[in-house]
Homo-oligomer: A and B are copies of this chain.
């Protein structure tokens, strides 16, 4: 067998990058091939299920990222809550390129996306929410309160990404992230 031209990590990063900017219907296999440096047929070798399987794999990859960089950071009981929050928000800021990038969950939850990948999207969102929920609990919030605040973090991030892009103003995302700090630390 020939050697792998692109390793799995780079491959997934490249694939995710395309899907999140162009959406599911908007990305062609050609786009994916160009972005990764592989030919279409090579992508089919790695993902026999084609475009659908690739998008599913991207969602698994994204979920791993959220687990490592958001949930585990927020649940790390060795650190003070304020530190955990600051670190998680830094990671989130980086994930979205300070608001310049869009979210893969939003990109894959249009139309077909929702019916095809609804489960994966939901799992990703719940991973995110459960991390912030735990932070809220550790800060002494009641169950319902912690749940709603956690949900609000995702709402603010998704909303600010949509609006920031729409009005063409990066500061919308920045302000949302700063708002999330205050949401917990007061």
CB-contact partner of A106 in B22, B25, B160, B162, under 8 A: B162
Instruction: List the B side residues contacting A110 at CB < 8 Å.
Output: 22-23, 26, 102, 107, 110
Q: Which residues of B lie under 8 Å from residue A172 when comparing CB positions?
A: 151, 155
Interchain CB contact under 8 A, A111 and B22? yes
**Minimum distance in angstroms from A65 CB to a CB of chain B:** 16
Whether a CB of chain B sits under 8 angstroms from the CB of A118 is: yes
Question: Do B148 and A175 touch across chains, with their CB atoms under 8 A apart?
Answer: yes
Instruction: Report how far A148 CA is from B165 CA in the complex, Å.
Output: 16
Produce 1/0 per residue, A106-123, CB < 8 A to B.
110111101000100110
A168 at the interface (CB under 8 A from B): yes
Q: Mark A84-128, 1 if CB is under 8 A from B, else 0.
A: 000000000000000000100111011110100010011011100
Candidates B102, B105, B112, B168; contact of A122 at CB < 8 Å: B168
**Counting CB contacts under 8 A, is A166 at the interface?**
yes
Is the Cβ of B155 less than 8 Å from the Cβ of A176?
yes
Assuming A26-B26, A159-B160, what are 17 further A-B pairs, CB within 8 angstroms?
A22-B25, A22-B110, A22-B111, A23-B23, A23-B111, A25-B26, A26-B111, A102-B110, A107-B110, A109-B166, A110-B110, A114-B165, A118-B168, A151-B172, A155-B160, A155-B176, A158-B163
A-B pairs with beta carbons under 8 Å apart, 19 shown: A21-B111, A22-B25, A22-B111, A23-B23, A23-B25, A23-B26, A25-B25, A102-B110, A106-B106, A107-B110, A109-B162, A114-B165, A118-B168, A121-B166, A124-B166, A148-B175, A154-B159, A155-B163, A158-B162
